[in-house]
Each structure stands twice: as C-alpha cells, then as structure tokens.
C-alpha cells in the first residue's frame, strides 16, 4: 500500500518539476533566508509595487509560461518542436510597433489604439504559425526543420518591417502590459498568464482538442482511421502557438516600449522546449500534461533568477543551466528511473538476507 | 524541377539518397553558372570559388559530422558552441600559456572527444533525446567559452600566424591582375583538411560496416536491431564522430579567423543543419550523402555571395534568402519523395 503510493507519487508527471522547484527553494532558503521576502514599495511613478525575488520569477517567467502552453500542444501533436518562436516574437513585436508608431521611429503620440496593434500582432503571429503548420502538416517536413526557415529569416523580416529602425512607443499606457498598472501592486504579466491559463483550461475541458492532439501524436494513422483529421490538428496547434507567441511579444515589447531585433527573446525557444521537457512530456509526441509544462517554465525562470543571485555573469549563465538540465534529464530518463527502481527493490531484499 | 521530371524512367530506380544528391548538385551548378553569366564580376574568377571554400572549410567539416548524426536519426545542435569553445581555449592556450601548435591541436581534439563521449553515452545508453542533450551541450559550451575568457582577442603567437597565413597555390587557375602580375589562386590548409575529411567519410559511409549500420539504424531502428546491428553502439559512434569533427572544425575555424571570442560561430549549428538538408540528408534518418553535404555548404555560401554582390547588402537580405532557399529545397524534397511514394504504390 505504502509502496504503491510512493510509486504513484514518483510516477506523476508533476513530480520532477515540483522536486526541482522544492530543491531550488531549499538551496535559496539556506543561502539567504530572506529570499522569499516580498516587500511593498513604490516605483519611480509613485505607484505601489510588490518587489522581491519571488515576484521577479513570476514576472519574468510569464513569457516562458505562455510559450510553454503552445509548445506543449505542438510537441504533443507533431512530435517535434518549433524553434522559431524567438524569431516570431521579433516579427510580431515589430509589426506591433509599426502599427503603434505608424512608420515613424519617434512619434509624439501613438498612431493607432493598442488593441488594434495587438490584434495585428496576433494575426501576424498566427500567420507565421500557419506557415510552419502548412509545412509540417501538409508537406510533412519535420517540425524542427520546417521552423528552421523562420528561425533564420525571422529577425531579418522583423528588421525589414520597421526599416531597421528602433521605434519607441511614446504612450506610457503601453508599458502597463509588461510592468504595473497604477494602483495594482502585482505585475500585469501575472494576470496575463492567468488569463491564458484559464482560457487554455476551458478549451481543454470543453473541447476535444487535448484528446485529439494526443491521439494524433500517439499514432497519426490510427487517429485518421478513427475520423480525426491529423493534418488539421497539427496545423491548428501551430496556429495556437502563433497566438501564444503574439501574447509573449506584447509582453516583451511592452517591457522596453521598443525592440532590439537581434536580442529580443533570444534563445527563448530553447527555454520553452526545456520547459516542455522538464514537465516530463515526451519530446517525441503523444501524451502531454499542460500544467507540468507551465510549472517547468517557472522552474527554469527560478533557476535563472537563482543563478543571477549567485552573481553568475549573464553570459556564463548558460553553462550552469546546462549542468542542471542534464542532471534533471538524466534523472527523469526512463532507463535511469528503471535502474533506480530495481536498485530500490534489491535494497530491502539484501537487507533481509543480511539479517 | 524539370530535370527530375525528365528522369522519371530512372527516377524510381534511384535510391532516395542518390536522387536527392542529384537534385542538389544540379541546382548548385545552375546557380553558380547563373551567377557567372548574370553577375559576372568576381564570380568569373576562380579565386571567388576558392574564397568560398576558405571561408567555409570549418562549416564543411561540422556539416559532415552533422550529416552522420542525422543519417543515424539523431541531431546535434552543440557543434556551434563546440567550435566557439575550441577556438577560445586554443587562443588562450597559445597566447597566455605560451603553448605550441601541436598542443592546441590536441586541445581541440580533446574537447571534441570529451563532448562526443558524454553526449554519445547520454543519447545512446541513457536513451535521452539527442535534441535535449545537445541543447544542454550548446548551453554548456557557450557558457564555458565566456568563463574561459570574457573578452574577444586576436592571437599573437608568431608560429600560429605563420600557419594561418600559409597558402597553398592551385596550379593553373590564377588570374592576371590590372598591373599584369600573375596572381595565383590559393586555398588555406583548412580546405585540404575539409576535403580529406569529406573523402574519408564518403568512403566510410559507403564501404565500411559502420557506414552501412548508420544508414540501417537511421532507416529503421527496429529492423536494424533484428539484423543484429548494435544499435546503441552505432548511435554512440555517430555522436562521437560528430563531436570530434566539431573539434576539428573548431580548429579549422580558429585557423581561419585567428581569434577567440564567445560570439564565434553563432548559429553555425543551424547552418550545418541547413547545409545537410540542402545536401539531401533527411532528419528522419537513413537518407543522406556526404558529397551532398559538401554541395549543400557550397550552395548556401554561394547564395550568400550572390546576395551580397547583387547590392542587397542590408543585413536582413542574407537571412531571408537563406531561409527562402531552405524552404524551396525542403519543398522539392517533400514533393519528390511523396511523388516517388505514389509511383511505387501504383
């Protein structure tokens, strides 16, 4: 009974990311007991804001969490990953700035309502997703390779949209999305993530998207024989990812009120894929657990913040991240888990023999 | 496309590998001849071609390694990072520790070997997805490069610089310049290394047991296992070869640029993957050819040169054209393969 429960807990997909989260939390707590302290202060504009490492993690992990939602679906349906999300963020963000600033790099007022710009960015993001989706679903090109096209071209296209200028949005309201709304001390990004998660939860609960995605990922042919259209499902997951990218682009661009084509959302595709893998989802497709992926995204951000706290240079960050990732992946590998399980079984036996 | 349609009769007899190779080679020659005819200028001189080789020797080597991994059904995106790490370590060793050339070559090979061993074991024996392993490998290499030395710097070592500037003249292909002096065409040492590796790998893939096992494992793991092929060892060896080649490619890159910097070879892994694909290697495994990869690299860099000399020098055009080219090649591959499948069924 007891053993079964342990097996049930360790077998759960949320186990690995949760353990990683707890481990990181303990390390931080030992290193600095004040790590989890959240203080209420005021920012430059005189508005109340919450600050503290925990808030930083929640704030800066939001783009990753939103991307993880879409990436999980794409991974599950097509058994491959979209490596163009960083570049697509640049494209969507650039389009958003182009609408807001109307082709003028230093406008006095915004040229269009923010909602219009956001909708345009959504359309652009979904178009990019549709492009990837068509290549993957209809032309049957492996997802990583199909998205390699936008990965190489994306930042160039983004620069081309704005004639390689770096427009600055003059309206302070635009900065609310990546910062704080006056009077509310919680970062706006947290609300955006919550909205996205609620929408996704509703979709998964009330539509067949989740079931169909898994069916296509597990066996494309048998799902087709069961009346599911695998081409459409794959295409749809890429479009959904495109939408997630547009939301992430809104946050990213809003944080700075401007854009830097070659740096914005750099390497975020790798982090998003890692989030999916950390959540225990098979990168070869099939069953998925959305919540584990989102948790994985925050684990990665937690790790990043922890490393910054230990005064690791931002360039050298990657090396430490790699070590942690490899350790995590090794421990979640099926062969290693099998070996540990066998070892755990042998241990009581040998003890009994010794007695 | 016209070319492939004319060949419909022999079309089905050709293996997938040869078919894709033919497409690549034909397109490359059309592109180069087109550039010579319509742009003239630099393209009429043989040295232009050798310059492409000089600048891309390291890419040829890493792309060959990438092809090997891709043929066996894996992927390795750590090669760019390894190249940067190798050039930084060698640069630091040569300048700050007064090292010798032999020592630096050994360092390059050592880094490649270490990477290959770790990644190969993780992928083959621990059954972890190669993408994740090499992703971590890339992060590690890029991070370590900055830990070894933050600031980029040029190597001052005289012995090394002599080696760097060594030029091997190609007989009979020089040109006479405006002053009437004969300028011989030349290649760097790296090009010879790259071509040697291409020949060796071509022979290995075609005539050795390892080469045939690579195709078998990439084509169908299950049936390869049933044929008595050691699938795990084959996978391990493919990653080992790729990383060692990344080490050698790193040294050739270092020899070409003569400096160490954390930003070296940024995105090289993607270029290597793109070259392999253009060369007809498929990511699903089991299909590919080293000669095709060589032409893939050449096509990729030729198009870059064409774009640059066509006056489209804004930075974004290079990215967009490479992507467009990749897109076209992928579509051709996809269409050709599905046509072939249809023909076989009928």
Handedness of CA A152, A155, A158, A160 (dihedral sign): negative
A160 contacts on B by Cβ (under 8 Å): 314, 316, 320
Q: What is the mean pLDDT of residues A95-101?
A: 89
H or E segment to which residue B184 belongs: strand B182-188
Q: Is the confidence at residue A89, as pLDDT, over 60?
A: yes
Q: Write out pLDDT tens, residues A47-82.
A: 777 778 888 888 889 999 999 999 999 999 988 888
Beta carbon pairs, A and B, within 8 Å: 140
- Which of A146, A150, A156 lies closest to B315 in CB terms? A156
- Which of B132, B140, B283 lies closest to A277 in CB terms? B132
- According to DSSP, the residues that pair with B168 across neighbouring strands are B187
Please give the mean pLDDT across all residues of chain A: 85
% of chain A at pLDDT higher than 70: 94
- According to DSSP, the residues that pair with B118 across neighbouring strands are none
* Helix ranges (DSSP H) in A162-187: none
Other Cβ atoms closer than 10 A to A58:
20
8 Å CB contact of B320 and A156: yes
Q: What architecture (CATH level 2) is domain B2-6+18-340?
A: Orthogonal Bundle (1.10)
Amino acid A162: pLDDT = 84
Amino acid A64: pLDDT = 92
Q: What is the mean pLDDT of residues A247-252?
A: 93
End-to-end CA distance of chain A: 24
Residue to substitute from B131, B231, B270, B303, interface A, most A β-carbons within 10 A: B131
By three-state DSSP, how is residue A282 classified? coil
Report residues of chain B scoring pLDDT below 70.
1-16, 40-42, 172-178, 180, 311-315, 344-346
By three-state DSSP, how is residue A144 classified? helix
Amino acid B13: pLDDT = 61
Q: Is the confidence at residue A131, as pLDDT, over 90?
A: yes
Higher pLDDT, A29 or B17: A29
B335 contacts on A by Cβ (under 8 Å): 139
- In Å, what is the CA distance from B6 to each residue of B1, B14, B28, B278? 9, 14, 18, 21
- Which of B126, B262, B334 lies closest to A139 in CB terms? B334
Amino acid B51: pLDDT = 84
Q: Write out pLDDT tens, residues A226-238.
A: 889 999 999 999 9
* B114: contact with A, CB 8 A cutoff: no
- Which of A157, A277, A317 lies closest to B143 in CB terms? A317
Higher pLDDT, A36 or A212: A212
Rounded Cα–Cα distance for residues A183 and B96 (Å): 56
Amino acid B182: pLDDT = 73
Q: Write out pLDDT tens, residues A134-189.
A: 999 988 888 877 888 888 888 888 888 888 788 888 888 888 888 888 878 888 89
Amino acid B9: pLDDT = 52
Rounded Cα–Cα distance for residues A204 and A279 (Å): 18
Domain definitions of chain A by residue range: 10-311
What ipTM did this prediction achieve? 0.72
Amino acid B277: pLDDT = 85
Secondary structure (DSSP) of B69-129:
HHHTT-----HHHHHHHHHHHHHHHHHHS---HHHHHHHHHHHHHHHHHHHHIIIIIS---
Amino acid A67: pLDDT = 94
Q: Is A354 left (phi over 0), alpha (psi -120 to 50) or beta?
A: alpha
8 Å CB contact of B136 and A322: yes
B140 contacts on A by Cβ (under 8 Å): 318-319, 322-323, 326
Shortest distance between the Cα of B323 and any Cα of chain A, in A, equals 5
Q: What is the mean pLDDT of residues A196-225?
A: 90
Scan residues 120-139 of B and list those with Cβ closer than 8 Å to A. Answer: 122, 125-129, 131-133, 135-139
Amino acid B5: pLDDT = 47
The CA-based angle A68-A303-B81, given to 5 degrees, is 80
CB A113 within 8 A of CB A175: no
Amino acid B315: pLDDT = 64
Q: Per CATH, which fold does A10-311 belong to?
A: ABC transporter involved in vitamin B12 uptake, BtuC (1.10.3470)
């Amino acid at each position: 009974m007891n053993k079964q429960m342990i097996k049930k807990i360790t077998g759960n997909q949320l186990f690995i990311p949760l353990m990683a989260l707890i481990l990181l939390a303990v390390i931080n707590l030992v290193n600095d007991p004040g790590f989890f302290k959240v203080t209420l202060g005021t920012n430059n504009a005189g508005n109340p804001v919450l600050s503290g490492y925990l808030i930083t993690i929640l704030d800066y992990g939001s783009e990753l969490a939103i991307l993880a939602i879409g990436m999980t679906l794409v991974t599950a349906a097509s058994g491959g990953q979209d490596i163009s999300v960083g570049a697509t963020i640049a494209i969507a963000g650039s389009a958003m700035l182009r609408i807001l600033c109307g082709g003028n790099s230093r406008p006095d007022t915004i040229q269009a309502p923010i909602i219009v710009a956001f909708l345009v960015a959504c359309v652009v993001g979904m178009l990019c997703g549709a492009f990837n989706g068509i290549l993957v679903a209809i032309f049957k090109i492996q997802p990583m390779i199909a998205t390699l096209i936008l990965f190489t071209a994306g930042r160039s296209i983004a620069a081309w949209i704005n004639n390689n200028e770096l427009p600055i949005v003059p309206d302070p309201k635009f900065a609310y999305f990546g910062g704080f709304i006056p009077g509310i001390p919680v970062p706006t990004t947290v609300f955006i993530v919550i909205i996205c998660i609620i929408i996704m939860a509703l979709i998964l609960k009330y539509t067949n998207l989740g079931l169909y995605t898994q069916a296509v990922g597990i066996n494309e042919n048998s799902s087709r024989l069961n009346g599911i259209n695998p081409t459409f499902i794959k295409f749809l997951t890429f479009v959904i990812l495109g939408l997630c990218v547009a939301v992430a682009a809104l946050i990213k661009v809003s944080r700075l009120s401007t854009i830097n084509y070659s740096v914005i959302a750099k390497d975020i595709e790798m982090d998003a894929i890692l989030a999916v893998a950390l959540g225990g989802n098979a990168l070869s497709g099939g069953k998925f657990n959305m919540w584990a992926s989102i948790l994985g995204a925050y684990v990665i951000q937690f790790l990043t913040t922890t490393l910054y706290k230990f005064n690791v240079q931002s360039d050298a960050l990657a090396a430490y991240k790699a070590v942690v990732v490899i350790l995590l992946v090794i421990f979640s590998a099926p062969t290693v888990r099998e070996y540990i399980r066998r070892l755990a079984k042998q241990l009581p036996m040998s003890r009994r023999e010794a007695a | 496309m016209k070319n492939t349609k004319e060949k419909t009769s022999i079309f089905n007899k050709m293996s997938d590998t040869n078919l894709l190779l033919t497409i690549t080679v034909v397109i490359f020659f059309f592109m180069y001849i087109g550039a010579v005819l319509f742009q003239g200028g630099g393209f009429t001189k043989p040295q232009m071609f050798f310059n492409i080789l000089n600048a891309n020797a390291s890419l040829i080597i890493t792309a060959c390694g990438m092809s090997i991994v891709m043929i066996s059904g894996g992927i390795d995106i750590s090669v760019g990072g390894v190249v940067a790490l190798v050039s930084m370590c060698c640069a630091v060793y040569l300048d700050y520790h007064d090292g010798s050339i032999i020592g630096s070559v050994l360092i390059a090979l050592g880094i490649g070997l270490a990477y290959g061993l770790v990644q190969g074991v993780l992928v083959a024996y621990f059954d972890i997805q190669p993408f994740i392993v090499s992703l971590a490998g890339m992060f590690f290499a890029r991070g370590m490069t900055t830990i070894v030395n933050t600031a980029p710097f040029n190597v001052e070592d005289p012995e090394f610089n002599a080696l760097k500037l060594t030029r091997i003249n190609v007989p009979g292909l020089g040109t006479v310049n405006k002053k009437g002096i004969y300028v011989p065409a030349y290649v760097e040492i790296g090009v010879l290394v790259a071509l040697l590796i291409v020949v060796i790998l071509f022979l290995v893939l075609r005539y050795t047991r390892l080469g045939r096992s690579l195709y078998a494992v990439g084509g169908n793991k299950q049936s390869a296992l049933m044929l008595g092929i050691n699938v795990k060892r084959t996978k391990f060896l493919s990653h080992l070869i790729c990383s060692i080649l990344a080490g050698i490619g790193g040294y050739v890159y270092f020899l070409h640029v003569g400096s160490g910097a954390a930003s070296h070879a940024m995105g090289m892994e993607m270029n290597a993957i793109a070259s392999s694909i253009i060369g007809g290697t498929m990511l699903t495994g089991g299909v590919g050819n080293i000669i095709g990869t060589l032409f893939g690299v050449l096509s990729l860099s030729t198009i870059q040169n064409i774009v640059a000399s066509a006056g489209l020098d804004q930075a974004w055009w290079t990215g967009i054209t490479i992507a467009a080219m990749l897109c076209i090649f992928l579509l051709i591959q996809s269409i050709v393969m599905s046509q072939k499948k249809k023909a076989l069924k009928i």
